[in-house]
Amino acid sequence: MSKVKKNILANLVGNVWTGLMSLAFVPLYIHFMGIEAYGLMGVFSALLGFFALFDMGLSSTLNREVARLSVKKDKAQEMCDLVRTLEIPYWGFGILVAVLVILASPVIGFHWVKVKALSPQTVRLAVMLMGLSIAFQWPIAFYSGGLMGLQRQVLLNGINMVVATFRGFGAVLVLWLVSATVEAFFIWQILIVAVQVSLLAYFLWKSLPPAPARPRYRPELLKNIWRFAAGMTTLAVTATILRQTDKIILSRLLTLEQFGYYSLASVGAMTLFRILGPIFESIYPQFTRLVESKDDAGVISLYHKSAQLVSALILSSALVISMFSRDLLLLWTRSPLTANNAHLVMSILMMGTALNCVIHVPYALQIAHGWTKLAFAVDSVSILLLVPLMILLTRWFGAPGAAWVWVLLNLGYVFVSVPIMHRRLIKDEKWAWYFQDLGPPLLVAVGMVLVGRLLISDAWPPFVLAASIGMLGLVTLVASACACNRLGAVAAMKSLVARMKSYA
């Protein structure tokens, strides 16, 4: 098994497991704490996303630079010094974030969120604990980026899986046996995330190649990477605004209860990134190596194979979940009220997220070339449209209106950003992306899901219904993969024909 395939498999297993751990315990969180307290978890997610604006592109830069330096000889000292140079400001800003959130807690607790069951004092204390948790969680992306650049995805995912398991089970035990309060929940999160960041830091430093001297802070190294880091910073800012603005606006326009349902739907839709993440995290360093080696044929081959893999996995999953969102929410939460309030929003968000996922392979190719201007320009235009559209559609149609904004923006990415990219990179491959990588798996998945919707009944017993939806998802995935000319049965048949010709 090649290293890329091994890393994709490790990332997929790790992301699926951590995703299951985060989803499996949500009904118990709501049971113990209530929907308003779960809405505070949405506030925490928005805060974490907002402060990701100030990552300054360091985690992505570390990923790329470590991958680039790893193919060159006698670069061990520079690699270790670079990690130390970027690590110090990263931790410093994490501490600053904690202080800022704690200082802002009275404003958020007493003036921002709209509460009914919870007191403003409880919200304020919860926000203060969020700040402490963010301080420890902040460097996780940095150390993870370094491990991915070193192709240590198996180790990284092993750590994340163990931590996710303890995070979920431990939180439930704390809520059940100690205190069913949002304060107890966030105290446990602080403890577990401190353990996680310590493990990642230890293993990153252990995985770096031996250097002649101790790592030291060398600000001059920033001169070689500042352009790419600045570009990634702007992308981080725009991407975070795009992903978190809905939560910031809706936390103000909706009641905390309604925002809790939206947050739940968003968690469901964001599970698609659990599928995308393993692929992106594996192909991005590989794209960087191929670009650095000027292997154009390898770049094109990896581009189409990974794009078809993303399309088959993401589109089949998104369509099945969207079509059966109410049934799945009911099976997940065991609450008809929750399912009725969240299923439409989740279906719409799922469609938008699927569109966002399929453009990540073109995006990986862009940043492997160090080209960040296109993504920044497209994101900037999207932001200008996002805020007024979000406010207007939310006031007119509520949470579903806000979800439709996400769909419209990502349609723009698919039909505007990708063609522009192909004018500069792998120019002759644009139509192959639309008509080979995207179109066939989409059409097959749509057909399979429509047939499945006609055959599967909501009245079936829960176990039978869950098994039927799962089987439909598996069949749809296989059929979508077979529709891709570089995956599945088509690719296998071509390989067999080629081998037969060679024998002849």
Task: Output the DSSP codes for 399-439.
Answer: HHHHHHHHHHHHHHIIIIIHHHHHTTSSGGGHHHIIIIIIH
Cβ proximity of 57 and 313 under 8 Å? no
Q: What is the pLDDT of residue 492?
A: 43
The 10s digit of each residue's pLDDT in 76-133 is 787 888 888 888 888 888 888 888 888 877 877 666 666 666 777 777 788 888 888 8
Q: What is the pLDDT of residue 500?
A: 40
pLDDT(57) > 70: no
**What average pLDDT is seen over the chain?**
80
Backbone angles phi, psi at 76, to 5 degrees: -65, -45
Give CA angle at 16 (12, 22), nearest 5°. Answer: 145
Query: Given pLDDT bands bounded at 50, 70 and 90, which one contains residue 318?
Result: very high
pLDDT number for residue 22? 72
* Residue 497 or 350, more confident: 350
Task: Return d(Cα 149, Cα 67) in angstroms, integer.
Answer: 5
Interval 301-313: pLDDT, tens = 889 999 999 999 9
Q: What's the Cα-to-Cα distance from 49 to each of 113, 459, 500, rounded to whole Å? A: 17, 39, 53
pLDDT at 60 > cutoff 90: no
pLDDT at 205 over 80: yes
The yes-or-no verdict on residue 354 having pLDDT over 90 is yes
Domain extent listing, the chain: 1-237, 271-504
pLDDT range class, residue 503, cuts 50, 70, 90:
very low
**Residue 205 near residue 83 (C-beta atoms within 8 A):** yes
Q: Report pLDDT digits (tens) over 133-189.
A: 888 887 888 888 888 877 787 888 888 888 888 888 888 898 888 888 888 888 898
The pLDDT value recorded for residue 248 is 72
Predicted TM-score (pTM) of the model is: 0.64
468 or 16: which leads in pLDDT:
468
Higher pLDDT, 119 or 395: 395
What is the model's pLDDT at position 343? 86
Percent of residues, the chain, with pLDDT higher than 70: 85
Above 90 in pLDDT, residue 320? yes
| Out of 26-35, 110-119, 121-130, 445-454, least confident range | 110-119
Residue 471: what pLDDT? 92
Tell me whether residue 362 is exposed, middle or buried, using C-beta atoms within 10 angstroms of its C-beta: 0 to 12, 13 to 18, 19 or more: buried
Which of 210 and 446 is assigned the larger pLDDT? 446
d(C-alpha 439, C-alpha 224), whole Å: 40
Q: Give percent of the chain above pLDDT 90.
A: 13
Helices (H) and strands (E) in the chain, counts: 23, 0
Place of tokens 């101790």: 214
- Residue 496 in this model has a pLDDT that exceeds 60: no
Residue 4 — very low, low, confident or very high, per pLDDT cuts 50/70/90?
A: low
- So what's the pLDDT on residue 445? 93
State residue 276's pLDDT score. 84
Confidence of residue 398 (pLDDT cuts 50, 70, 90): confident
Residue 319 has pLDDT above 90, yes or no: yes
Return the pLDDT at 446: 93
